[in-house]
Amino acid sequence: MKYPKIDESKLAEVMKIIDTAANLMAEKDCEADMVAKQELNTLQKQLIKVTGNPKINIRDYRRYWAATNLETVGRSALYLPPQKTGLTDAQLTELIRRIFELDFDVPKNALEATNDYFLEVLKVETGLDNITDYIYWPEEAGLNEDASLDEITAKILADKK
């Protein structure tokens, strides 16, 4: 499986931008406070420039610490959004297995961001916006709570658009 590459030399800068923005949004009303709003807009432009992703939104990182750590969100920000390539059912099956088992040959500190990226790939390839439900909360996708990997895979393949 081909793993996306990120420019590790940009990680520290991206982390600093995200952390600065998250703290600013936590401390100030960036819609009502015009100075804070401008500062957030400047950080948004910096993030776009460093990541090369014109669709990235700095507001998505508000209170990131409630769900993950700064390095993970920094790595995630450096991945460009996946594009649909038309993976076969066999390729999708392999991708689902790797996500389900966290089977990626990457350093431990990159595992969560890599897994998140491939969840996005799976979402794009299947057209299923609730793809995480299938894998982590199968009962939300119409399966048993303790559904097996084979059952989850079959359901995803059956439901893909």
- Long-range contact list for 152-156, CB < 8 A, 24+ apart? 152/96, 152/100, 153/92, 153/93, 153/96, 153/97, 156/92, 156/96, 156/122, 156/126, 156/128, 156/131
Binned at pLDDT 50, 70 and 90, residue 106 comes out as confident
Q: What is the mean pLDDT of residues 87-101?
A: 95
Binned at pLDDT 50, 70 and 90, residue 151 comes out as very high
Binned at pLDDT 50, 70 and 90, residue 4 comes out as confident
Convert the pLDDT of each residue in 6-26 to its tens digit: 999 999 999 999 999 999 999
Convert the pLDDT of each residue in 128-144 to its tens digit: 999 999 999 999 999 99
Give 10: exposed, middle or buried? Use CB within 10 Å, 0-12, 13-18, 19+.
middle
pTM for the full predicted model: 0.84
Output the pLDDT for position 1: 62
In the predicted model, what is the mean pLDDT of the chain? Answer: 95
